[in-house]
Structure 1
Amino acid sequence: MKPVVVIGFVGSTLDASKRGPTRWNQWRPSVGLTMHEDLRVDRFVMIHGGVHRGLVDYLAEDIAAVSPETMVEPILMDFEDAWDFEEVYGKLLDFVRSYPLDPDAEDYLIHITTGTHVAQICLFLLTEAHYLPGQLLQTQPRRGAVDPKGVWNTIDLDLSRYDSIATRFAVATAESTSFLKSGIDTRNAAFNRMIDEIEQVAVRSRAPILLMGPTGAGKSQLARRIYDLKKLRHQVKGPFVEVNCATLKGDGAMSALFGHKRGAFTGAASDRPGLLKSANTGTLFLDEIGELGLDEQAMILRAIEEKRFFPMGADKEVESDFQLIAGTNRDLASRVTEGRFRDDLLARLNLWTFQLPGLAERREDIEPNLDYELDRFAEREGERVTFNKEARESYLAFATSASATWPGNFRDLASSVTRMATFSPKGRIDKSLVDAEIARLSAAWRPTSVAEDGLDDLLSTETLQSLDPFDRVQLSHVVEVCRGSRSLSEAGRSLFSASRAQRSTTNDADRLRKYLARFDLTWANLRETR
């Protein structure tokens, strides 16, 4: 077995006693831990101040009486203020770095029962950080009995060995990530991994966070949830301040962000603190940061790095300590190349950058988000609305298909659900409502050249959804030719003019009739809707 070395402070109160036989009826931690038959102490490194050297010699005598094999090694360490955390930690760290610790040859126990609370905390931190390569040792008197030995136990800082603690950490982490997702049981693996990373960054870092992604991807909501999570963890005290930088122009941008003094410009009738000052000790969310002017970007950079800035018209700086979350749907690297975004600001923002995918890239998350939007509608309007089975299946089939492009991302989905819920009879969304909503979305998302092709009046919604864009363009051209012809044969001759010369017999009208029949169309249909 390797020798056991105890490192700890002398207890100026707990270890002290009057000389005489009665001291052996008193629990003294430093002496008591050497009296246990199940704990062998080969060396006791006893840290003490100069005024307690006599107490150390006294304790060494008693330890030699009860444990002759234990060698006491006094270490002098004086503090100007034993309650000054910085001083105590610094001197202990210097001691640890200079002391010949050899964990391969010795086992170390770090005694945290004696010393000031500051000293005990510093020993814990040094052990937790592995500067002291050992286990924490805790002693206490035995309850209900006179026992100078007391009780001892070690604390293993490898938390992974404690199943219940590991489980609670896992649950707490899962709760945090669920919180960031607003409780939505998202299924997209890449998105879930990103949220796991954001959760770790949110609770461990105050550096700026950059959220990138298309409009409507949820940047604003995620920024708010990051702030709320930090608030729950008591990591921020101030407010959440949000501004869309695209709305800030000229002097108004400087004034809104940094504030101004009265008379700074025409119309500045009174002092204004500005958004950066309002966000002090909280979180500032600058959405669409790519739209800021270069002057504002320079001042933002300084405010991030130095926590101070000049309001407009002021000759004295103000201070504000906030965490910045920035959002953008722009390619900031390209804007740097174009000279429209500062490369030093991008470098400062680029420590924690997260790319939020659009809804079309997370089609498996449409169903849980559909339920979330129904819950939001119920909270806003005080009415619970649900789908019937056929309507839900039809809507999800469309929403998760390639035909649904979701250009507005989650804003499109929220608006869609709100429309159906508002028009639902008796709180039930049926198939007819879904069909109408699908038609509305399809028309809104269709390119102008396609939206004006005239097929909406001829084909059902289901048929239109099943058409590939290639087939739709072809059919649209056929319909246009038919409507401009006097007969089916004339339309056929026009459409098949190139291939007629290669055939021995021609029946263009029949060929065209069969093509239209594939889409349940007839010549009569086209003439009626001309």
Structure 2
Amino acid sequence: MKPLVVIGFLGSTLDAGKFGPERWNKWRPSVGLTMHEDLRVDRFVMLHGTPHTRLAEYIASDIGSVSPETSVDRQVIDFRDAWDFEEVYGKLLDFTRGYPFDPDAEDYLVHITTGTHVAQICLFLLSEARYLPGRLLQTQPHRGAPSGAPGSWNVIDLDLSRYDSIATRFAAVSAESTSFLKSGIDTRNAAFNRLVDEIEQVAVRSTAPVLLMGPTGAGKSQLARRIYELKRSRHQVKGPFVEVNCATLKGDGAMSALFGHKKGAFTGAAADRLGLLRTADTGMLFLDEIGELGLDEQAMILRAIEDKRFLPVGADKESASDFQLIAGTNRDLGRAVTEGRFRDDLFARLNLWTFALPGLAERREDIAPNLDYELDRFAEREGNRVTFNREARERYLAFAVGPAAFWQGNFRDLAASVTRMATFSPKGRIDSACVDAEIGRLARLWRADGAAQGDELDDLLDPAVMEALDPFDRVQLAHVVAVCRRSRSLSDAGRSLFAMSRMRRASSNDADRLRKYLARFGLEWSQLAG
């Protein structure tokens, strides 16, 4: 067994007594902890102030008489005010940094029975932060036992996972938080569930910026708001949630909207304007489509993240705002950095916590629970509960998870689809006829979108190749090109395009399959990426 070292304060009141035989008639925690047969203390690191030197000498002597194997290492720490938290914590921190701890060779217990309440709290915090590399030791006298008896002792392990009831509660709270981030939807996609588990841990344990990537309609905005609400419920933020779509910030107005301006800063500036960053002070700022910001705005955002300060338009004095940032984008910011459209230093600052949200086509097993969620939202919004009959629900889901459903707008397409069916079902039941009409409507919507995208093929293919394309191939190729443009990689695009057929194959190489398809038309991934 490794030697056991106990670190604790001399109790100027509890350890004190008359300097004579009568002192043994009193329970003294520093002496008592060395009198237990089942707790061998090899060294006692006694913390005390200069005014209590004489008492420390007596206690060290008494420990030597009852436990000769225990050496006493007296450490003098003087406080001007033992109830001043800042002073006590600072000096104890200095002690921990200077003391030669050796956890590989010794075990440590931190005695929290003696000392002022402030000192005990500081010992707890330093142990929890691992500055003191030990567990907590608590002692107390036995009721009804002789007053000079050693009392009892108990070790408190700060690894709460070792306590079954606490660990169970923590697991339940964590699961509740994860469900909260998913808006209570019982999602079935394993990769997405793992992703949300990671986001939940980051949300409650970090104040660093978070970057949410994913196609339009993948749920970035809703997830950002849920992260804010989770942190607010835990009192980690108290200010507002401020959301802005950076694609709407253009020209000179972008600086003013983000950072505010002073009256008279430019034509039309009739009054001071706080700006979105100031509005988000002590709260959370969600910059959706951050890749659309200009380079000047990016530079000021970076400084505001790092220094919490920025200069409003027309001001000669900086403003301050302490906000947490969530950024969203459907662009490949790494590629944008390479092309000089996004600052590499801002990307590096955002890239600590990056989460890529999959589109609906990559989460087809989650369509069913999201269908119920959208019906609930419709009921809350319109005050009218609408449900499917069984045949209609089966018919809609068969289409929704099948290869004919492109879900180009992702969850926005699904939400709009449910709203239309519920609106066209005044009796509160969506039937098969309503579903068939909606399937036809979605097919026309996606076909029209594909036709519009087909115009892009003129810029990609030679006129001779375009002339030789059948209309069917033209629509299909246009959809493939659209998926490639919004995907992060060739493999990502392949997984989206071949999601259903991949489930029926023992092995797959979606990237190679897509590469060969594009090669039929003389196209390469590098022409479409981003």
Question: Is the shorter-chain TM-score for this pair beyond 0.5, marking a shared fold?
Answer: yes
Q: Which residue of 2 aligns with 1:215?
A: 216
Q: In the TM superposition, what is the alpha-carbon distance from 1:253 to its structure 2 partner?
A: 1.2
2:427 partner SS: helix
Q: Which residue of 1 aligns with 2:391?
A: 390
Between 327-336 and 270-279, the greater mean CA deviation after superposition: 327-336
Q: Which amino acid aligns with 1:171?
A: A
Q: In the TM superposition, what is the alpha-carbon distance from 1:157 to its structure 2 partner?
A: 2.7
Q: In the TM superposition, what is the alpha-carbon distance from 1:211 to its structure 2 partner?
A: 0.8
Q: In the TM superposition, what is the alpha-carbon distance from 1:278 to its structure 2 partner?
A: 0.6
CA distance in 2, matches of 1:450, 1:291: 26
Q: Is contact 1:255–1:312 with CA below 8 Å preserved after alignment?
A: yes
Q: Which amino acid aligns with 2:46?
A: M
Change (3 A) 1:311 1:430: same
Q: Is contact 1:450–1:473 with CA below 8 Å preserved after alignment?
A: no
Instruction: Supply the RMSD in Å over aligned alpha carbons.
Output: 2.5
Which segments of structure 1 move beyond 6 Å, counting only runs of 4 or more? 448-451
Q: In the TM superposition, what is the alpha-carbon distance from 1:176 to its structure 2 partner?
A: 1.2
Q: Which residue of 2 aligns with 1:240?
A: 241
In the alignment, structure 1 residue 136 sits paired with structure 2 residue 108 = no
- Percent identical pairs in the alignment equals 80
> What's the TM-score, normalizing by structure 1?
0.80
In the alignment, structure 1 residue 380 sits paired with structure 2 residue 381 = yes
CA distance in 2, matches of 1:442, 1:310: 50
CA distance in 2, matches of 1:319, 1:449: 47
CA distance in 1, matches of 2:430, 2:33: 74
Q: In the TM superposition, what is the alpha-carbon distance from 1:59 to its structure 2 partner?
A: 1.9
Q: Which residue of 1 aligns with 2:428?
A: 427
CA distance in 2, matches of 1:106, 1:409: 58
2:72 partner SS: strand
Per-residue CA deviation, residues 412-443 of structure 1 (Å, 9 max, x unaligned), is: 11111111111214211111111111111111
Q: Which residue of 2 aligns with 1:28?
A: 28
Q: Is contact 1:264–1:313 with CA below 8 Å preserved after alignment?
A: yes
Q: Which amino acid aligns with 1:428?
A: R
Per-residue CA deviation, residues 75-130 of structure 1 (Å, 9 max, x unaligned), is: 21223444455554454344445444455554432211112333323333443444
Q: Which amino acid aligns with 1:347?
A: A
Change (3 A) 1:393 1:273: same
> What's the TM-score, normalizing by structure 2?
0.80
Per-residue CA deviation, residues 479-529 of structure 1 (Å, 9 max, x unaligned), is: xxxxxxxxxxxxxxxxxxxxxxxxxxxxxxxxxxxxxxxxxxxxxxxxxxx
CA distance in 2, matches of 1:5, 1:292: 58
Between 301-310 and 12-21, the greater mean CA deviation after superposition: 12-21
CA distance in 2, matches of 1:385, 1:217: 25
Q: Which residue of 2 aligns with 1:227?
A: 228
Q: Which residue of 2 aligns with 1:444?
A: 445
CA distance in 2, matches of 1:153, 1:118: 21
Between 3-12 and 225-234, the greater mean CA deviation after superposition: 3-12
Q: In the TM superposition, what is the alpha-carbon distance from 1:55 to its structure 2 partner?
A: 1.3
Please identify the structure whose Cα radius of gyration is greater: 1
Q: Which amino acid aligns with 1:186?
A: T
Q: In the TM superposition, what is the alpha-carbon distance from 1:269 to its structure 2 partner?
A: 1.1
Q: In the TM superposition, what is the alpha-carbon distance from 1:145 to its structure 2 partner?
A: 5.8
Per-residue CA deviation, residues 46-70 of structure 1 (Å, 9 max, x unaligned), is: 1111111111122234334544444
Between 379-388 and 155-164, the greater mean CA deviation after superposition: 155-164
Change (3 A) 1:51 1:240: same
1:426 partner SS: coil
Map residues 273-312 of structure 1 onto 2, 5 A cutoff.
273-312=274-313
Number of matched residues?
Answer: 457
Q: Which residue of 1 aligns with 2:164?
A: 163
Q: In the TM superposition, what is the alpha-carbon distance from 1:255 to its structure 2 partner?
A: 1.2
Change (3 A) 1:308 1:162: same
Q: Which runs of 5+ in 2 are unaligned?
A: 453-468, 476-530
Q: Is contact 1:17–1:23 with CA below 8 Å preserved after alignment?
A: yes
CA distance in 2, matches of 1:143, 1:366: 63
Change (3 A) 1:144 1:269: farther
